[in-house]
Amino acid sequence: MLQGRCALITGSTQGLGYAMAERLAAEGCNIVMNGFGEKDEIESRRGKLESAHGVRAIHHGADVAEPAQIADLVATAQRTFGGVDVLINNAVVRHFSPIEAFKPEDWDRALAVNLSAPFHLIKMTLPAMKTRNWGRIINLASNWGLTGTVGRGDYVASKHGLVGLTKAVALEALPYNITCNALAPGSILTPHAERQVRERMARDKLDWDVAAQEFLKTRQPSGRFVTGEKVGQLIVFLCSDAASEMTGNPIAMDGGWLSI
């Protein structure tokens, strides 16, 4: 189903984004990586996708806060692979501050990356998907797109907006065999989460497993971090014919978080 198709994944030079790229490449998908990082590390990861899975992979360093750079990113994908079949809006910025202390420039950048960039990318890739009568759009919304928390107004607001955009796009795309869904992962072992666990280890003199359990117990009843590999497997399912009637949904993968 994915052999020879093209997946564009923003924020995919490392972490969750790269894990999704790896899983799609394993299914035969050509990959457009996007994001920042050390040039040599990015090139190593790009090369690994090609050598391990026999696909083509390119990297484009667009800052997705800038619509002109998004346009060049999409044009490059179209020139290289003939179009984008799978669009994954994964790039994100986040800040930690109470509303009254929130810097306006931080708010503006969060909206640009977390919400406006998906809009521009969908707008630019949707016409070719309609022409081919097939497409998959997946927006990484997070559980904070379905609930709220303190000190993260930009993240909560932009992710709620992304869920709303998902629903609107899903309805417009229905006649063209194009689905649009929002994934809502719970706690993933990001650098920020790892730092919090290690701070807990040092403060309370705990080993990793106990400190991780302490970190997760108020968030994720399963007591386990969501892994990039499992998110990647869910992405592959959403690209399959079996998921062709799943559209417009916020899909939680959160170890029971939203059931609390």
pLDDT at 144 (0 to 100): 80
Question: Which residue out of 18, 144, 155, 257 is catalytically annotated?
Answer: 155
pLDDT at 30 (0 to 100): 98
pLDDT at 190 (0 to 100): 77
Separation between Cα atoms, residue 117 and residue 9, nearest integer Å: 12
Q: Render pLDDT for 17-32 as a digit per residue (tens, 0 to 9).
A: 999 999 999 999 999 9
User: Judging by beta carbons within 10 Å of its beta carbon (0-12, 13-18, 19+), is residue 50 exposed, middle or buried?
Assistant: middle
Closest CA to 184 of 197, 166, 209: 166
pLDDT tens for the chain, 260 residues long, are 799 999 999 999 999 999 999 999 999 999 999 999 999 999 999 999 999 999 999 999 999 999 999 999 999 999 999 999 999 999 999 888 999 999 999 999 999 999 999 999 999 999 999 999 999 999 999 888 788 889 888 999 999 999 999 999 999 999 999 999 999 998 888 777 888 899 999 999 999 999 998 889 888 888 899 999 999 999 999 999 999 999 999 999 988 888 88
pLDDT at 241 (0 to 100): 96
pLDDT at 93 (0 to 100): 92
pLDDT at 153 (0 to 100): 86
For domain 6-188+226-259, the CATH class is alpha beta
Domain boundaries, the chain: 6-188+226-259, 189-224
Separation between Cα atoms, residue 28 and residue 165, nearest integer Å: 29
Residues 6+ apart with CB under 8 A from 39: none
- Whether residue 105 contacts residue 148, with contact meaning beta carbons closer than 8 Å, is answered with no
155 is catalytic: yes
Amino acid present at 4: G
231-234's contacts with Cβ under 8 Å and 24+ in sequence apart are: 231/16, 231/19, 231/20, 231/183, 231/185, 231/188, 232/19, 232/20, 232/22, 232/23, 232/24, 233/23, 234/183
